[in-house]
Amino acid sequence: MESDRLLVLYPQKRGPEKERSRMDEVLRAALDGIDTEIVEDMEILEQDPFKYRGRRLLFAVPLGRNGINRGYYEVLAWLRGGDQVLAGATAGMIIDAESEFYTKATARELAVAANRAGCAFVGRPLVEGTASLDNYLIQAANMNTDRFGAYKKSAAILAHQILEETWQPKEESHLLVLHASNHRTSNTLAIWQKVKECLDERIRIQEINLRNGTLVDCSGCPYQMCLHFGEQGKCFYGGAMVENIYPAVKWADAILLLCPNYNDALSANMTAFINRLTALFRTTRFYDKALFGIIVSGYSGSDLLAGQLVTALNMNKTFYLPGNFCMMETANNAGAAMKLPGIEDRIKEFSEKMTHILIKETQNS
């Protein structure tokens, strides 16, 4: 069956053969023993745009020295066409470059576009290779190999992860909602209140306002110190993060972050939460927890914040990323969000998607 085969979308780098040779070798190692369908001609995406719905998918993108792959932009155009061309698909990605730059930026851009087209991503879905492969120094030591060996092993682990991991809804699910907004003026909170009203009653909700306590940002403790406190479920700086938020994250099956756009970036409190989560992450992985977001921008840039959530919590902290994980709206003045054309329909659609991800369907559903 096609659903049992790993689909590899491999837009070719148009340039010297050597710019692809390393990616070719990584793929040979990663796909050894796996039933695979490799697609190199991106024209098929235009001919049959819905062909790959529901597939297990690996994006393989060689960027060369300048970070440009024309075939990749054909993939991006396909994903951004406005249709759910990857509905039901689950993916990961390998991004390779002949410089020290562009791999993470390309991965973030690709993940947001694919996710908006319906694609889910496994926790930690990115394997990247910079020119020096210095990003594999630690993994190489842990795997008892050299940097290139660690690169190939990481790619193989990801390929199997994409094929084997399956998100499991539950009969009752726990949702942690985090925000740092003012109830009286926040468009983001106004949307959340309406989403909340539409969620299945079997979703138990805990809300935490990050403004209610002093949330000190991470100061970058030495690894061993961070690990020591993390093993105790604590952080050196203590406070609300340890007393309230760590236990809530452990309790949750999913987290929903409410993110107004501040200067095209997450708020300071939300950034501090993500940074301070590192101590807990030292001993607790989050592959079995889903990530959702509601983002409201005054003018533009919601996709930038979506990318920040993806890189920080899906690519780094291992949260599962469901398809269409976030709702993004543009509203400036207080109260403007709930007056947007079609807002009620989009709220209903988003809440139904959350319920579908979190709650197991029953015969009476």
Segment holding 59, helix H or strand E: strand 56-62
Confidence (pLDDT) at 223: 52
Range of weakest confidence among 5-9, 44-48, 75-79, 156-160: 44-48
pLDDT above 70: percentage of residues in the chain: 88
Confidence (pLDDT) at 74: 94
Confidence (pLDDT) at 211: 73
Query: Is residue 144 pLDDT above 80, yes or no?
Result: yes
Confidence (pLDDT) at 141: 95
- CA distance linking residue 26 with residue 37, whole number of Å: 16
- CA distance linking residue 128 with residue 101, whole number of Å: 11
Q: Assign 117 to helix, strand or coil.
A: coil
- Domain 173-358 fold: Rossmann fold (3.40.50)
pLDDT above 90: percentage of residues in the chain: 75
Domains of the chain: which residue ranges? 2-164, 173-358
- CA distance linking residue 147 with residue 128, whole number of Å: 12
Q: What is the pLDDT of residues 100-121, one digit of tens each?
A: 999 999 999 999 999 999 999 9
- Domain 2-164 fold: Rossmann fold (3.40.50)
Q: What is the pLDDT of residues 255-265, one digit of tens each?
A: 999 999 989 99
For the record, the structure tokens of 206 come out as 């805990």
Query: Is residue 217 pLDDT above 60, yes or no?
Result: no
- CA distance linking residue 30 with residue 145, whole number of Å: 16
Confidence of residue 154 (pLDDT cuts 50, 70, 90): very high
Identical fold between 2-164 and 173-358: yes
Residue-wise DSSP of 237-268: T-THIIIIIHHHHHH-SEEEEEEE-BTTB--H
Confidence (pLDDT) at 235: 57
Which residues face 58 on adjacent strands?
8, 92
Confidence (pLDDT) at 228: 47
What is the average per-residue pLDDT within 191-198? 97
Confidence (pLDDT) at 231: 52
What is the average per-residue pLDDT within 329-337? 93
Range of weakest confidence among 235-249, 254-268, 290-304: 235-249
Q: Which residues contact 47 (CB under 8 A, 6 or more apart)?
A: none
- Which residue type sits at 340? L
Q: What is the pLDDT of residues 179-194, one digit of tens each?
A: 987 777 899 999 999 9
Confidence (pLDDT) at 237: 52
Q: What is the pLDDT of residues 236-246, one digit of tens each?
A: 555 566 778 89
Say how far residue 103 (Cα) sits from the centre of its chain: 15
Cα 356 to Cα 34, 83, 167, distances in angstroms: 30, 19, 11
Task: Count Cα neighbours of 325 within 13 Å in the Cβ-side half-sphere.
Answer: 34
What is the average per-residue pLDDT within 83-103? 97
Confidence (pLDDT) at 113: 99
Q: What is the pTM of this model?
A: 0.93
- CA distance linking residue 350 with residue 294, whole number of Å: 10
302-327 exposure pattern, b = at least 16 Cβ within 10 A, e = fewer: bbbbbbbbbbbbbbbbbbbbbbbbbb
Confidence (pLDDT) at 221: 54
Whether 158 and 186 have beta carbons less than 8 Å apart is answered as no
